[in-house]
Structure 1
Amino acid sequence: MTEATLQTDSDLPASFDPDRAALPEGMSPVETAHKWGLRLRMGGLWLPLLVGALVIDNFLLENAPFRGALSGIVAVLAIAAVIVGPQRIWRRLGYALGEKSLRIVRGWLFHVDTVVPFVRVQHIDVARGPVDKLVGTASLIVHTAGTHNSVVTLPGLAPERAKELRDTIRAQIKTDWQ
């Protein structure tokens, strides 16, 4: 029977980052600011639910003995979702740029590992919405040939890095056509 050993902080390599331990070896992480963009979006999704719960509590459950319970439950769920969800999503989002393909790994509930061969790329966009501009991130959008999963998005990149990836893929596509 083997004896289990516990790893202490001194046993871990100096480059070990527990926040990024969920990424496969060789994957580059997205920007930390992407977490805050996810939190803003998640808060925007939960806010109407919280307002709806408050309206129900104050108008429909006006005389109920458990008045306010619905709002409390929704508020606790919203806070948990805004704090925990984006952290988990961010930790498991990474990419690797190879010589002939782009690999994107994502997912904390369902793991998705997407490989986009450059020969399939039709065109590439760099997009920045209002939340992305606020937190300083951008998304690389790769359009490929075919119908299933023909648009692959890599969110959470620094705008300069997104443009750099776009230009690198574009240069590779040009050499493949010549």
Structure 2
Amino acid sequence: MISWIIYLLITTGTFIFMEGVAWFTHKFVMHGILWVLHKDHHQKKPHFFEKNDAFFLIFATPSILLFFFGARNGFNWMFYIGLGILLYGIAYFTIHDIVIHQRFKWFSRSNNSYIKTIVRAHKMHHKHLDKHHGESFGMLFAARKYWQKSQKSKNEAL
């Protein structure tokens, strides 16, 4: 029983940690040395497939390797770190590609304050079309100022 609690904590901790990894990678790698892959994501009219989609494979590789070696060694801690990375990737894809960018027209615009806040933060990120002077590099957690703006516009609507 105690091992499942530990594995749940490892998976959850990895999921949360991945937001920091995504923020750091987005700010310093995607808007840095690998801007050549990320640049098309900041274009006004991107295509359905973008060079930026290569980051899916870049982030999936450690998860796949951790699944493999963790399963091979009796489903140890490596497997659950891989699971945390996978779950973060699913959440990132759902929020970024489906909810925010409407890459698949599965959901319409939401009145949910969390969704409005992350959409606002992401729009502020995309107002910068070059790799410099960016803001809001995270995905699942938005800065307080975006929450305050969402609350203000919600109160004005009432």
Which one scores higher on RCO, CA 8 angstroms, separation ≥ 6? 2
Higher relative strand content: 1
TM-score, normalising length: structure 2: 0.30
TM-score, normalising length: structure 1: 0.27
Pick the structure with greater CA Rg: 1
